Structure formats: C-alpha cells, structure tokens
Amino acid sequence: MTDPIPAATLVVFRDRPGAPPELLMVERAKAMAFAGGAMVFPGGRVDAGDRLPDPDDDAAARVAAIRETIEEAGLPVGLDPIPDAATLVRLRAGLHAGEPFAALLAAESLRLAPERLVPFARWLPSHAPARIFDTRFYLARLPDGVAAATVDHTENVRLCWTTAAAMLAAADAGRATIIFPTRRNLERLAGYASFDAAAADAARFPIRTITPWSETRDGAEWLCIPDDLGYPVTAEPFAAAIRG
C-alpha cells in the first residue's frame, strides 16, 4: 500500500438566526480520481509550502485548509486582515498559477490566523483506491463582509450553501453523492444549532484517527467507526457505503 497523503478540509459555517447553520460544500468534477462527482467540503492535500515556517503536521494542515478554501471557493477564512475583493482575486489567481502561498500573503500584507480553525476529526481509510488520504477536518465561521463564494471550475463544478440535514436528504433521494466519511460527518454536524455549539462539542472529543473497518452483523457486512468520538451513526451496510 502506498503511503497516505496528508490532507485537510474545512467545514465553513454560515449561521442563521432561528435556523440551522448552512455549510459550504462543493461538487467534485466527475473526472477526478478521488470522490469524482461527490459533494465534499473544500480541501485538498498538504503541500510542501504549507509546512513553512512551522513543521508541525497540525499547523501545516490548517494552512492547507485555508489555502484550499481560497483556491476552491474564493473564501478568505483564516486570514488577518480579511482581504477586500480585489486583493482576494489577486490572491486566488496567484494560487491557481502555482505561486507560493507565503509569498502571496507577504505581497498583500496578510497574515495567517490558523487559530480560527477548530479541530473536528481525522479520517484515514484502510482500503486501497487510487489514493489514500489522511485527512484532518476543521470547523470555521464564515467571516463577516466577505464576497460570495464562487466555484473554481477546475477540480469542482459547483458549490452550494446547505444545511447538513438537507444534504443528507438529497443524498438519500439520489440527488447528490456523498462518500462514507462525508455522510458520517454530516450526520454529526446536523446536530449543531450554530458554529459556537459545534466548536464547543468538538472540544469534548479527542482528535483520534478514524479508520473504518468491516465486521459481520447478523450475516451482513457493515462498515464501522468508533462509537466514542461524537458520531450519532457509527455503522452502515457495506453494500450501501460509498468509499470514494
């Protein structure tokens, strides 16, 4: 088995008074080798440049989550100060052109604010598709006054703001595809009335790597995860699980 690829993803919350929070999700292009056609949260692999100047894995993953959310959705989460629209356009264009994130930030007098990201989970599948990602999930609040999110039309073909419950319902009705980790995370996120509630609950559980396993129950195979990490659903029939 090839070594897992370090990755990070960001669940961006848009709170709504008197209603469940909306979450930003993107639809992967069908041609993508991993999770093609699936609805996911913005994110991607940790690049070498994300490890500067701090070599810590968590710190690098936070940088990657911030960078990928800018690239994929044009949202400046985790930056200080929040850039104006013109600055964000330059920053995003530079990232798409392959310019180093640190250099782009310095040129625009921007600083990273990784402390605004709340650790939520870490998933590492054990099966062997084309790629295996060791993915850290973070939560973040949508900053005030930012421009509307826009899809990059490269790895992703559309984006939407949706409640966790609505996305689960869309998947159940066959209107959306979600892979096993996304479904489990959406089920957990559906229980939160706000970003603050999600952040407080996330702090109650350790970040322990989740590696799903298969077990036989009453003659049928189920795909399972631990039952002590805050997830309300911890097993799904193996035949129904979409594994990426």
175 pLDDT tier (thresholds 50, 70, 90):
very high
User: Any idea what the CATH number is for the domain that residue 79 is in?
Assistant: 3.90.79.10
Task: Name the β-bridge partners of 139.
Answer: 11, 118
Amino acid letter for position 102: A
Residue-wise pLDDT for 29-61, tens only, equals 765 556 667 999 999 999 988 886 666 899 999
Q: Within a domain: residue 9?
A: yes
Residue 212 in any domain: the answer is no
Residues 74 and 88: beta-carbon distance below 8 Å: yes
Cβ atoms of 208 and 143 closer than 8 Å: no
Q: Which pLDDT tens digit goes with each residue over 105-164?
A: 999 999 999 999 999 999 998 765 557 899 999 999 999 989 899 998 788 889 999 999
How many domains does the chain divide into? Answer: 1
Q: How far is CA 85 from the centre of its chain?
A: 23
Q: Which residue has the tokens 């911890």?
A: 234
Domain range for residue 67? Answer: 5-206
Residue 117's H or E segment, with its range, is none
CB 74 within 8 A of CB 26: no
Residue 75 lies in a domain: yes
What pLDDT digit, counting tens, does each position of 1-40 carry? 578 899 999 999 999 999 999 999 999 876 555 666 799 9
CA distance 148 to 146: 7
Tell me if 24 sits within 8 A of 138, measured CB to CB.
no
